[in-house]
Structure 1
Amino acid sequence: MLTFEVIAKAVGVRMVFLLHIALCIWRLASLNNYDDFWPWVMFTGASVFLLAEAAFTLCINKHGEWRRFIPCIFIYLLGTVPVLFMLEYDLLTRRLEYKDRYNMESCTRFADNVTLTSSVAGIVIPVQLTANSWSLALQQIMLFLLVAGRWFLPKGKLSREKLSNMLLAYVGMAADILEFLSEGVGTEAVRCEKPVIIVILCIWAWSLLQFTMELNLQMTKRKKQMLSRDRRKNSILYRSRNSEVRGIFTVIIMQDGPFLVVRLYLIVMHDIFEQSLIFFTFKNILVVMLQLYRLWILTCIKLDSDEG
């Protein structure tokens, strides 16, 4: 039987997710080139799916949350990522229109004036932000909620040590994902390159799916002690090692690998040598190399345990 604390955490986090989805859709609906009704259809759909998922999880799962895949975060991303994608695409459209209107060769002089957000269905948020700032703020809130939401959700079968390691990994991932999008979209040389911006947005959306999975990027202290005591085949130890391997491949395939390819493309094809771009490129190279080194270490451990 689930305790009141577990139920309160599960429902409370999902309500916060819904509030942020509503804010994102409100911002999208406030744009003049979008109708006022269909974004709220998206919100209704997200609400129904999220509440249905909450009821199903709390009724079926005795631990209050799933372990390897977190459906509520997946639904939250389904409600926010397409909206944020459209907001960034709207900014791209505005830059292209500004460029064509004034016959400019680049987007370097594009300026987004500070405007008071408009009313949608009688709802007004009196905050003066540029369109760029609105998009960035909503992305920052989303990444913060992904980390904090996973922290406050019921931990399910995860141990506290494993959950804390995963949350620390989430913080680093969130910072790199935010920097990747801001850096790619904000680079003057490609701000009006529609195919490049769309690819960057697609990779950004792809990388966010990591937050729906259990990432085990290092062996816990208990499993290390088991390994040091007993070199024989142990099913628990093997599952832990396999989980770590899956986590490493997930980070390489969904984040550091694609981010490295895009950054190298910007450097080689567009001759962009900004300091931050070069720094994060080398950072991605170093992370990929360290992750591959870690895989090699795990392989050696497996071979040693098999021989023992």
Structure 2
Amino acid sequence: MPNTEETLRECGRWLCHSFDILKAIMMRLIFALHATIAIVRIVVTKGDYWYLLNMCGVNFLLIELIVTIVKRKGKEPKWFSPCFFLYICTMIPPIWFLEINRINVKLGITPINQTEGDELTSMIEKGLISKANLNDKTDVVMRKKLLSLSVDDWVVAIEVTFLMTIIVGRWMLPKGKISRSALSQLLLVYLSLASDMIDLLSIFQEDKVIKNMDMVYSILAVFSWSTFQFSLNLVATRGRNFKLEPEPSNQDLENYKEQTRRNGGIKPIQTVCQKICHSELPSIFITILMQDLPFLVLRLIAVIHFEIQSYTTIFFTCKNLFILFLQFYRLWSICMEHVDQDDPIDKDALSISQRAQPTRESLNAQLI
């Protein structure tokens, strides 16, 4: 009988490892495929095969897959995800090149590449575009419009699918033993962050902004910086269990203080540091430094300096400002919860002393 139970346990462990390995392989192949499509699009747009050097990131992603299968049996690290980091590092250069190329084409700085013209010609030959609609007078104009729409569609599609792939990847590869409720909460947080990032890139629709290359580089740099928060597993807002707790009586407090003196005192600094590390303070700091604060600065510059008056930009500016105030208020409230310099009390030890008090009273009664 014990041998049968042990065999069943081994089979269950093998199935769990196999399922984790299957998910790891599937998601990393999706990452590699999406990055390859973006890199190929750069080569088609620029007409230069040197951009294929970005495929080094895809190779590193496949190497990381082998390490994950052999060393970690498909499990993800606790605090940092190498596969998300490599995927983000591989996708950022294509997004930069495609966005800058789209802006230069829109401003007329960069002429339409011959490769794009060949692509349009092949679309006409395959019947995807009717040649009758392109007469001699409107041939050049229609070509420019179609190519402009094609570039815009490709850039937007790559950016949106980039963020959606990260969210799906986090869904398929949750960190540690995370519950379904916490995972759903994490995915909702990621959707909110992704919508904010996409709206930041929509500032490129303003002509006043794209004419200033410093602002363009700043927006792309902040966007790239904010995407790295997805490689950290601290962004999820941890759930809090709220319950009513009776306030300890004065006698219990005196008994706890007397017990603390006998035990040589407690270590309030170590206790506070442990509580802060296990709280949501790290995730709040990451969200402030990697998204809310830099996004607010860029949007204020766009609204005040470049006089952008679009409703979405003004709305998201107010949203970032309001969220920033709420985040700082949350930081203050957590610090006030865990740091009480006047009377540091360990509630866990106090509850233990409260449970031990009836036992001592019953023993005294038996002795009497």
TM-score of the pair, normalised by structure 2: 0.69
Are 1:268 and 2:307 matched, yes or no?
Answer: no
Q: Which residue of 1 aligns with 2:51?
A: 39
Gaps (5+ residues) in structure 2?
Answer: 1-12, 130-145, 249-267, 346-368
Are 1:297 and 2:343 matched, yes or no?
Answer: no
Q: Which residue of 2 aligns with 1:64?
A: 75
Distance 2:38 2:189 in 1: 26
Distance 1:230 1:165 in 2: 31
1:90 corresponds to which of 83, 101, 107:
101
2:272–2:339 contact (8 Å) kept in structure 1:
no
Which is further off, 47-56 or 6-15?
47-56
Q: Which residue of 2 aligns with 1:19?
A: 33
Deviations along 1:130-169, one digit per CA (max 9) or x if unpaired, are 2111100110100100000111125334344433322221
Distance 2:39 2:74 in 1: 32
Q: Which residue of 1 aligns with 2:205?
A: 186
Distance 1:132 1:245 in 2: 39
Which is further off, 184-193 or 251-260?
184-193
Provide the secondary structure at the position in 1 that maps to 2:198. helix
Q: Which residue of 2 aligns with 1:279?
A: 315
Deviations along 1:42-89, one digit per CA (max 9) or x if unpaired, are 22x123211111121233235710121111011111111111110011
Give the 4+ runs in structure 1 shifted more than 3 A: 114-119, 126-129, 157-162, 216-219, 227-239
Go from structure 1 to structure 2 and tell me whether the alpha carbon gap of 1:48 and 1:218 turns closer, same or farther (over 3 Å shift): closer
Q: Which residue of 1 aligns with 2:44?
A: 30
Q: Aligned residues, how many?
A: 283
Distance 2:120 2:245 in 1: 63
Go from structure 1 to structure 2 and tell me whether the alpha carbon gap of 1:216 and 1:95 turns closer, same or farther (over 3 Å shift): closer
Go from structure 1 to structure 2 and tell me whether the alpha carbon gap of 1:286 and 1:275 turns closer, same or farther (over 3 Å shift): same
Amino acid at match of 1:150: R
2:42–2:51 contact (8 Å) kept in structure 1:
yes
Distance 2:103 2:190 in 1: 29
Provide the secondary structure at the position in 2 that maps to 1:130. helix
1:46–1:79 contact (8 Å) kept in structure 2:
yes
Distance 2:57 2:208 in 1: 37
Go from structure 1 to structure 2 and tell me whether the alpha carbon gap of 1:307 and 1:7 turns closer, same or farther (over 3 Å shift): same
Go from structure 1 to structure 2 and tell me whether the alpha carbon gap of 1:41 and 1:219 turns closer, same or farther (over 3 Å shift): closer
CA shift, 1:218, in A, is 3.3
Which residues in structure 2 correspond to 1:155-304 (within 5 Å)?
155-182=175-202, 184-221=203-240, 233=271, 237-241=275-279, 244-304=280-340
Distance 2:206 2:296 in 1: 16
Distance 1:167 1:191 in 2: 32
Which is further off, 279-288 or 191-200?
191-200
Larger radius of gyration: 2
TM-score of the pair, normalised by structure 1: 0.81
Distance 2:333 2:196 in 1: 25
Amino acid at match of 2:103: L
Distance 1:167 1:7 in 2: 22
Distance 1:115 1:301 in 2: 64
CA shift, 1:4, in A, is 1.0
CA shift, 1:21, in A, is 0.5
2:32–2:58 contact (8 Å) kept in structure 1:
yes
Gaps (5+ residues) in structure 1?
Answer: 102-113
> Share of identical aligned residues, percent?
31
1:190–1:196 contact (8 Å) kept in structure 2:
yes
Superposition RMSD in Å = 3.2
Amino acid at match of 1:276: T
Distance 1:264 1:272 in 2: 10
Amino acid at match of 1:240: H
Go from structure 1 to structure 2 and tell me whether the alpha carbon gap of 1:147 and 1:115 turns closer, same or farther (over 3 Å shift): farther
Amino acid at match of 1:245: L
Distance 2:247 2:291 in 1: 35
Q: Which residue of 2 aligns with 1:108?
A: none
CA shift, 1:258, in A, is 0.6
1:215–1:247 contact (8 Å) kept in structure 2:
yes
2:92–2:224 contact (8 Å) kept in structure 1:
yes
Are 1:9 and 2:23 matched, yes or no?
Answer: yes
Distance 1:15 1:221 in 2: 36
